Amino acid sequence: MGYFIGILLVSFIVNSLTLIPYINLLYRFKIQRQKQKTKDAFNRPTPIFDNYNQKKTGIPIGGGLLTIVNVTILFLISFPILYFFWVPITSIYNNPGSEIKILLFTFLSFGLIGLYDDINKVFLGKKNGFFGLRLIHKLALEIILSVLISFWLFSELKISIINVPFLGVIDVGIFYLIFASFVITAFANAYNITDGLDGLAAGILMIALSAFWVISHSILDTTLSLFIAIWLGGIIAFLYFNIHPARIFLGDVGALSFGATFAVIGLLLGKTFSLPVIGGLFVIEIATSLFQLLSKKYRGKKIMSVAPLHLWLQKNGWNETTIVFRAWLIGIILAILGLWLAFLS
């Protein structure tokens, strides 16, 4: 465990030292949050959302890109370093190469979708969907990538089971492809929706990944332990500059990448029912948004005055930092509960 803690610290230092000049670079090239006039999935204006986010106009976006680059490079060069120090590389799978491929492909490919959307927002002035790619196009790309990743999980790593606490292991066979694709796509969008307040999504992810780190170490999966350690170092460094008042935002490049990769790590760990518990706040955020959209579409009225949950709390008078800190506390409890479920199954 000592090696991985050291690697986390190295990642934190590298990301910290590169973030300050990176923020200055974003300012120099005017890669900043634009004034928004967003629309929901049914092309309806969202004035309340825009109103609460106007004060964030001008803050640099794209912090996720630096984290992705740093984490990927550090992850790849860590293997020969561990080999040099005679640290055994172990995995719960017979094909650790595929495990590495799946992790990095998810991390990078979903980041590319988000990067394209961020470029649209800043330079091309596209105002389709959520101020970038049309939602239907973004969702289609996410589903294609999710299906491909799920196929690799099923065919190369032979994952087709779901661990259900108190019931045991259930082999769902080929239906695992549908299940895994849904989980990856859902968490990519859930994280993106949650990333609306300074420090909210990054802080919750830091807590949730810490729980996954404990699980990965307990099953002696070096690949996952190493990746999570490096990623945690990057997130902690980013969070320092992202807490209120934020100096930088992830952008879609980070949000989509982080959400999808978080889901894939949960699937690789095989603790299926711990994933929606440890990442419970992401689930709540996307659920409130989805139910709101469906209610407006099919019932002609809202369930809540505004969605997702964090925006509803803001509208009802909660201070931004109060929402974030209490979300972190709830995230800690959910992480502990998820760990308990993980060690039961």
Averaged over successive runs of 10 residues, the pLDDT of the chain (345 residues) comes to: 89 98 95 72 56 80 97 95 81 89 98 93 62 76 97 96 82 96 98 96 98 94 95 98 96 97 96 93 97 89 91 94 98 97 84
Contacts 24+ apart (CB under 8 A), 281-286: 281/194, 281/204, 281/327, 281/330, 281/331, 281/334, 282/187, 282/190, 282/191, 282/194, 282/201, 282/204, 283/190, 284/309, 285/190, 285/193, 285/194, 285/309, 285/310, 286/186, 286/189, 286/190, 286/193, 286/194
The pair of structure tokens assigned to 264 is 């894939």
- Please state the domain count of the chain: 1
**Which residues is 39 bridged to in the sheet?**
45
Strands (E), 47-179: 161-164, 168-171
Going through 38-90 in order, the beta strands assigned E by DSSP cover: none
Phi, psi of 157 (to 5 degrees): -100, -5
Give just the sign of the alpha carbon dihedral 227, 228, 233, 236. Answer: positive
Asked if residue 6 lies in contact with residue 13, where contact means CB atoms within 8 angstroms, the answer is no
Check residue 163 and report its DSSP letter: E
Helix and strand counts by DSSP (H, E) for the chain: 13, 2
Domain hosting 122: range is: 2-344
- For residue 130, what pLDDT is reported? 44
Q: Do 193 and 269 meet the contact criterion of CB atoms below 8 Å apart?
A: no
CA–CA dist 51, 161 (Å, integer): 45
Q: In the prediction, which pLDDT does 163 show?
A: 84
Q: Which residues, listed in sequence order, are joined to residue 170 by a DSSP beta bridge?
A: 162
Q: How far apart are CA 132 and CA 256, in angstroms?
A: 14
Provide the pLDDT for residue 112: 97
Helical pair 96-119 and 135-155, crossing angle rounded to 10 deg: 170
The rounded distance, in Å, linking the Cα atoms of 106 and 184 is 9
Smallest Cα–Cα separation from 305: which of 321, 316, 317, 318?
316
pTM: 0.93
Residues 266, 221: Cα–Cα separation, whole Å? 13
